[in-house]
Amino acid sequence: MNSTNIQKKDLTWTTGFSLSHNKNEIKHLFFNYKEDENGNLVEVDDIANGWFIGEDINAVWDYQLNGIWQEEETDAAKVYSRFAGDWKQVDQNDDKLYTNDDKVIQGSTQPKVRLTFRNDVTWKNFEFAIKMYSYIGMLQENNHRKSSDVFYDRGAQLNVPYWTPENRNNEWAGIESYATGFTVWDKASFVRFDNISLSYNVPQSLLQKAKIVNAKISLIAQNPFVYAPNWGWMDPEIRNFAPSNYSIKLNLTL
């Protein structure tokens, strides 16, 4: 959707906006059937790939996490061969074991909604533009919060608030915590300010003396800011460092 909000002699303001929604559902897999507890034939899910009839093909099927085992929970943690500082997985059926029966659908790795938003303002010889986009409603892996993928004893690492008896928390496990058989999933919705620019078109009266046809000076910020309130590690879109770039640009037409 595009709109012209202001159209005057020296001032123009236009807006561009787009919204998309994606939903998918697995209807059939391999047409293998079994009887359920009521004697009805139901199609078999593909457990190995995490594909389930009636669910999103990108569904997150995993153990639900309920914080970090604390020191006063040592005895309860030992039942599951865990220790204080390890992630606490939810035993859904309370059988004192972690099995596939405890895994649940928690969401999808694909955004439910994608948005883009752009504003362009021209005032006399100045031009201002800002572009933003947003992905909403998805989960992403964040296994860095297991605190088990680094070598704290032999190299420099990023400073993260990993669990210790003196730094009790429910967000980051202790160093070299138990990390096998499950994934830490975080909500990864974000709004990204993708590009901001301010430009000035040099007046023709100044250019004619230098025999220049056109000249534009621009200040440009690329990826200056990302707002992701529920994501706490690097960039939520690429799950790595995403640099911000600032530049001054001069365009000349001779």
pLDDT tens-digit map of 121-177: 999 999 999 999 999 999 999 999 998 876 666 666 778 899 999 999 999 999 889
Tell me, yes or no, whether 46 lies in a domain.
no
Confidence of residue 212 (pLDDT cuts 50, 70, 90): confident
Q: Are 187 and 151 in contact (CB under 8 A)?
A: no
Tell me, yes or no, whether 226 lies in a domain.
yes
Q: Of 245, 243, 239, whose CA–CA distance to 190 is shortest? A: 239
Tell me, yes or no, whether 7 lies in a domain.
yes
Exposed/middle/buried for residue 254 (C-beta within 10 Å: 0-12, 13-18, 19+):
exposed
SS3 225: strand
Tokens representing 36 are 């359920």
Tell me, yes or no, whether 37 lies in a domain.
no
Tally the domains of the chain: 1
Query: pLDDT tens across 55-109, in order?
Result: 999 999 999 999 999 999 999 999 999 999 999 999 999 999 999 999 999 999 9
Tell me, yes or no, whether 51 lies in a domain.
no
SS3 75: helix
What range does the domain containing 214 cover?
A: 1-23+110-142+187-254
The Cα–Cα gap between 93 and 143 comes to: 25
Tell me, yes or no, whether 11 lies in a domain.
yes
Tell me, yes or no, whether 3 lies in a domain.
yes
Q: Are 13 and 5 in contact (CB under 8 A)?
A: yes
Tell me, yes or no, whether 159 lies in a domain.
no
Tokens representing 207 are 């250019």
pLDDT at 233: 85
pLDDT at 39: 87
